[in-house]
Chain A
Amino acid sequence: DAKTTQPNSMESNEEEPVHLPCNHSTISGTDYIHWYRQLPSQGPEYVIHGLTSNVNNRMASLAIAEDRKSSTLILHRATLRDAAVYYCILRDARLVVGTTDSWGKFQFGAGTQVVVTP
């Protein structure tokens, strides 16, 4: 999977939007962009993913640049519960069946620590 680059940390006030950038300049045409987040002392949880078009769900929005070399996770109204480490991950969509190939692996980087201030 191609590499991603994220800022180490970001701060936001409660009730304000948070824009988390992710650079992936070596992304391939078959790479999906995934976001996970990890709350303190918990396992990561899925947030959102996309390929080319912007995506919205109940947790967040994902804005993908036209050249796909960067993306932004948007938390529309940050709450204290959104304080977590956010991971941007690229996943190759090509299918590998019936092998122990490393296709199934998710490569988690250091992520971005989001701090939400009341």
Chain B
Amino acid sequence: SQTIHQWPATLVQPVGSPLSLECTVEGTSNPNLYWYRQAAGRGLQLLFYSVGIGQISSEVPQNLSASRPQDRQFILSSKKLLLSDSGFYLCAWRSPSGFTSNTDTQYFGPGTRLTVL
């Protein structure tokens, strides 16, 4: 069965420090991968998505970047964190293998809660 991991679970970082959040997926090949951010009490905002190694699409201009160095690894980074980067970061995957009603489901990881002070 497929599983998705994120770490760390929680993180407290000072303003201006770098960031690296990691997401890995097991049990599937060539997944579509997504990074979302959720500010406190708000909905999910899609940040990046990837359909393959080295292929990253950015949804909104921001202080963050994403990379996909391996098929099942997705990394969210920042060189200098801002206060506004605080939030709950979620990684998700879905099957890329064409569309059927049963494969069009996103599976989310447990999330990383980031607090920038």
Contacts and interface: CB of A to CB of B under 8 A. Distances in A.
B111 A106 contact: no
A104 B33 CA distance: 9
A95 B99 contact: yes
A43 B111 contact: yes
Interface string A11-26: 0000000000000000
Q: Which of A91, A94, A95, A108 has the most CB of B within 10 A?
A: A108
A49 B101 contact: yes
Interface residues of A, number: 28
Q: Which of B42, B55, B101, B113 has the most CB of A within 10 A?
A: B101
A46 B106 contact: yes
A94 B101 CA distance: 11
Nearest to A44: B108
A99 B57 CA distance: 11
Q: Is the interface of A mostly helix, strand, loop or mixed?
A: loop
Interface string B53-79: 001010100000000000000000000
Given A46-B106, A91-B104, A104-B32, A97 B111 contact: no
A111 B101 contact: no
A85 B61 CA distance: 27
B7 to A, nearest CB: 14
A110 to B, nearest CB: 5
B99 A100 contact: no
Interface of B: 32, 34, 36, 42-44, 46, 49, 51, 55, 57, 59, 88, 90, 92, 94, 96, 98-99, 101, 104-111, 113
17 contacts: A32-B101, A32-B104, A34-B104, A36-B106, A42-B108, A42-B110, A43-B90, A43-B92, A43-B109, A51-B101, A87-B43, A91-B104, A104-B51, A104-B96, A106-B34, A109-B43, A110-B42
